Chains A and B, each alone.
Chain A
């Protein structure tokens, strides 16, 4: 929309927009800046840039000494990568079948998928815990089993959204390519993995990134299943900081920065896919 010159109105509009942009950027900038200052300086001098005498990496050293940051990162990565990988595989297969095949239960299954997006996690978590406990996989001694307890419900929580996004995309693919593959004697499996999957890559990216972020940021499920400190993932570790290290503000600032910076980098490079994915599930209405 290029229909206006620089008028006072336009200037006011930009002023408002820039003000809100500052509220979203400055707090993050502020905490990263303060993570490089001594604890007492955060309390007195928080707006100054950490230059010269103010600059210190002590908070980061404390964080790596006292907290098992790398362990928590590793656990988070195992959880979130598995969730993202399984979600795109299962949702991709289901979406393909729901779009391309005609069968009696199709309408019902589609409504099951859409309704699946409505369940708040609160309403399923207790029975899920009971169920996993009866299988003997909760609170075990094995790291992978503990992480699996978080991975499984998170996969289920993301499937509905993923299927809604992927069916929308697969529908828009031209069927001619699949027909050509069929003519050459390709089976349905081959057609799916060799023709449909490569074409659906952009949408898979959206779904994978979204599932990854959602899982990386989800505290609630981790609070239920990761009881032992050894198995904590990164958000659970942060939650502990508020109760155990409530006054070590330098440590808090450095930990927040350590968690946020990878996400910022991810966001800068992948924002196109992220924004699309976050809203796609919602817009279908």
Chain B
């Protein structure tokens, strides 16, 4: 395409160099440098590394024995599962329902997508107010409904639920929009033929919509699990430093804590490497599971 008028290759450097310099300096170099950093001694965030750790893999040994890291990994895996089940799940239900109605689909699309544009920090503050012990929105509502006593939504047993609920809630609309786009690509005739053959509404969903949507659902699932790894702002605002009692760490918040608060910069780098590895493994697994699933 365009080969004839764009034969002179000299302008290429001018067009490509700035963007690619940026990406190499700010993405590719730091990415590999970070892997190297995770084996080295770094005293302070700003300073350069001073030689290798002894043994060089000591940060990874530490990670294996670090109880908080176990919590963070476990919570992150739970977060991924919750994301798949409730975030993508809710989005599928909502998308199929919207696809089945005549009026208002544009309205629902706008409204469902809306929380995504709000900063997670603001939502963290907002949900702090909603889940406030004495007394936020939920506890006031429960009181009105006749519950006696207040529920501490940030207590140890339930903290994880309180943290994940807003995260899941915020991104449902994102998957909803992706799925709706996929649904619009399914040809209308298929439904018509099915209707003539006497298929009920549920059968049309079960045997036409879901199978044809499989690849889109797979994309959503991959985005969901990798997205769960990137969560930071909202948990950090609602449950800073793994509160209560180190029970709400996620890999992202724990990486930040180790780097900025505990000042163990090279350990922070190692956790970042673990996040990348976890991301690669889980997205491969999800791809395999969803691509081979049979309806």
Contact = CB atoms under 8 A, between A and B. Distances in A.
Interface of A: 1-4, 9-10, 13-14, 16-17, 20-21, 23-25, 27-28, 30-31, 34, 42-44, 46-47, 90-91, 93-94, 96-103, 109, 112-113, 116, 118-131, 133-134, 138-139, 152-153, 155-157, 159-160, 163, 171, 175, 178-179, 182, 187-189, 192, 213, 216-220, 223-224, 235, 238-239, 241-243, 249, 252-253, 255-256, 259-260, 263-264, 266-267, 271, 274-275, 278-279, 282-283, 285
Contacts of A175: 1-2, 5
Contact of B275 (A4, A120, A152, A155): A120
B15 A126 contact: no
Interface of B: 1-6, 8-9, 11-12, 14-16, 18-20, 22-23, 25-31, 33-34, 37, 42, 45-48, 90, 93-94, 97-102, 104, 107-122, 124-130, 132, 134-137, 140-141, 144, 169, 172-174, 177-178, 181, 188, 191, 195, 201, 215, 219, 223, 226, 229-230, 232-233, 236-237, 240, 251-252, 255-256, 259-260, 265, 268-269, 271-273, 275-276, 279
A155 B121 CA distance: 21
A188 B114 contact: no
A175 B226 CA distance: 38
A264 B268 CA distance: 36
Contact of B129 (A16, A235, A252): A252
Given A124-B31, A260-B118, A99 B173 contact: no
- Give the dominant DSSP class at A's interface: helix
Nearest to A213: B117
Nearest to B222: A285
A178 B2 contact: yes
A218 B64 CA distance: 31
B114 A24 contact: yes
Contact of A223 (B37, B112, B119, B260): B260
Given A1-B102, A100-B1, A109-B16, A283 B30 contact: no
B177 A30 contact: no
Contacts of A124: 26-27, 30-31, 34
Nearest to A237: B121
Contact of B48 (A130, A189, A224): A130
Contacts of A171: 1
B27 A4 contact: no
Contacts of B23: 112-113, 116, 156, 159-160
A279 B177 contact: yes
B276 A130 contact: no
